[in-house]
């Protein structure tokens, strides 16, 4: 049996799931004055709603039609709200929130080699990761991020936090050729990463393990080859920093007689399971090559600006057909996990660098933060849009504040005006993680106290006087 609602086909359950009036039972109905779907078949629905069953979207339509056809255990009406897909943060080092503001106003190589790597070696342990991950998840939920990529250390601890707080994540333990927290170098770090992948693949539907060699300038060709072969063997994603700075390009060119992108191509590394962070310095032929190989690119405008890494050629990448998403990078180089800031900067930067106000329109940027990010991560069959059959990863953004009044175009407001404080409700897999700005799966007071305690110890040891 099928019901057709405004061109939206929904497969009905058996009569045992319907009452005498023919309404179907669902767990949750969520509405909005504007439903921004990121689905070309139904771009923006005024006074719309979504019906959710077993964590998935089973209907999208006008609110009155949804309410007439479905009976929910809970309804979040959404008056004065935009309902949209949750934001996808395609690149972060989540627990680095505990290093927020530790070393600012430095070039990437100086910041990383002389400050961050030594601090990680001294302070990163399981407790650091647990509290840092909780703080990061609290920040991301408050800002409407529902899926994120975490490229850092202690992946079991990070995964446990993600499991508890309800977010969706790709967890990618970083592997590098020199010592890192609890590892002597590549061999033991990579072995632990592969073990993590084997143990966590398929364990939790919201957590995807991944392989993460740090970068072409910190990982040898032999080890990069090991990494991509492992990703293929276990059929998992692979993420890597790539072509982030001019210094990296010059270093890799000197070592391997190839630019970073071409170096990976020479190793047979580039394929659709790969998504690369930054990619600030590709040339025209490399953009075409990345599009041909089907890799994803995660643009991190905040970090690239703060570290003076440069301006990634995002309009050219989009024109070439590259799958481009957005990320925040770590909070020690940003200094936050605010995807709304990344959205707005992406729109503004590329208008300014191209002298073309149409270079990256609002709808394109919002897509990069949602469905485009999902595509870059290989998750577009699960998340990124409000569409029947996808997971119910949704946010409600309130429209009542003065900076959001009046409203002519919901997408314009989301890109150019909204910020993290406007997110009212966050839902992942049909479970409400935040409602009316109240956290439901984390304890903010405890997290704040424990994060402050760790920061005081770091500050005392690094600056004893």
Q: Any binding-site annotation on 120?
A: yes
**413 annotated to a ligand binding site:** no
Instruction: Confirm if 85 and 384 have CB atoms less than 8 A apart.
Output: yes
329 is in an annotated binding site: yes
Q: Please indicate if the annotation marks 241 as binding a ligand.
A: yes
Backbone φ/ψ region at 325: left (φ over 0), alpha (ψ -120 to 50), beta: beta
Residue that is written with structure tokens 């929130």 in the block = 97
Question: Any known ligand binding at 350?
Answer: no
Q: How far is CA 331 from CA 99, 117, 127, 138, in A?
A: 7, 15, 18, 13
CA 432 to mean position of chain CA atoms: 19
Tokens of 283: 């040339």
The closest of 193, 146, 138, 142 to 171, measured between CA atoms, is 193
Please report, to the nearest 10 degrees, the dihedral formed by the alpha carbons of residues 229, 378, 100, 108 taken in order: 60
C-alpha distances out from residue 169 to 23, 137, 155, 324, Å: 34, 10, 11, 18
Binding residues for substrate: 120, 214, 244, 329
Binding annotation: 91, 93, 120, 214, 241, 244, 329
Residue positions forming the annotated binding site for Zn(2+): 91, 93, 241, 329
């Amino acid at each position: 049996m099928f019901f057709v609602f405004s061109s939206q086909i929904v497969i009905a359950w058996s009569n045992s799931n319907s009452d005498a009036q023919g309404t179907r039972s669902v767990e949750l109905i969520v509405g909005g004055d504007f439903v921004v779907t990121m689905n070309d078949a139904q771009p923006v629905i005024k006074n719309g709603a979504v019906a959710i069953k077993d964590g998935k979207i089973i209907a999208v339509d006008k609110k009155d039609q949804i309410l007439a056809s479905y009976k929910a255990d809970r309804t979040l009406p959404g008056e004065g709200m935009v309902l949209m897909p949750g934001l996808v943060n395609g690149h972060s080092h989540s627990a680095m929130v505990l290093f927020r503001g530790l070393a600012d106003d430095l070039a990437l190589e100086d910041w990383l080699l002389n400050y961050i790597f030594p601090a990680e070696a001294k302070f990163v342990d399981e407790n650091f990761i647990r509290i840092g991950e909780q703080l990061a998840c609290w920040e991301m939920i408050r800002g409407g991020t529902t899926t994120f990529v975490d490229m850092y250390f202690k992946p079991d601890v990070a995964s446990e936090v993600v499991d508890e707080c309800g977010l969706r994540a790709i967890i990618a333990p970083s592997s590098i050729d020199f010592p890192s927290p609890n590892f002597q170098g590549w061999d033991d770090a990579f072995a632990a990463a592969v073990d993590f992948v084997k143990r966590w693949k398929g364990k939790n539907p919201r957590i995807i393990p991944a392989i993460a060699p740090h970068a072409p300038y910190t990982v040898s060709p032999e080890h990069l080859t090991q990494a991509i072969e492992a990703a293929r063997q276990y059929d998992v994603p692979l993420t890597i920093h790539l072509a982030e700075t001019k210094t990296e390009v010059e270093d890799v060119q000197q070592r391997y007689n190839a630019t970073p992108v071409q170096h990976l191509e020479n190793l047979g590394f580039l394929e659709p399971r790969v998504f690369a962070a930054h990619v600030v310095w590709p040339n025209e032929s490399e953009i075409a090559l990345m599009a041909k190989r089907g890799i994803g690119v995660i643009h991190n405008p905040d970090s690239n600006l703060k570290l003076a890494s440069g301006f990634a050629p995002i309009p050219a990448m989009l024109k070439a057909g590259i799958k481009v998403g957005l990320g925040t990078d770590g909070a020690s180089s940003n200094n936050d996990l605010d995807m709304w800031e990344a959205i707005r900067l992406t729109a503004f930067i590329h208008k300014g660098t191209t002298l073309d106000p149409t270079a990256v329109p609002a709808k394109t940027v919002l897509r990069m933060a949602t469905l485009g990010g999902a595509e870059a991560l290989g998750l577009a069959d699960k998340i990124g849009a409000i569409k029947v059959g996808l997971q119910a990863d949704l946010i409600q953004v309130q429209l009542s504040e003065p900076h959001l009044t009046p409203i002519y175009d919901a997408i314009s407001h989301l890109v150019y005006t909204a910020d993290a404080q406007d997110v009212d409700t966050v839902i992942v897999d049909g479970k409400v993680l935040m409602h009316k700005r109240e956290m439901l799966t984390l304890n903010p007071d405890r997290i704040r106290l424990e994060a402050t305690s760790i920061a005081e110890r770091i500050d005392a040891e690094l600056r004893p006087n």
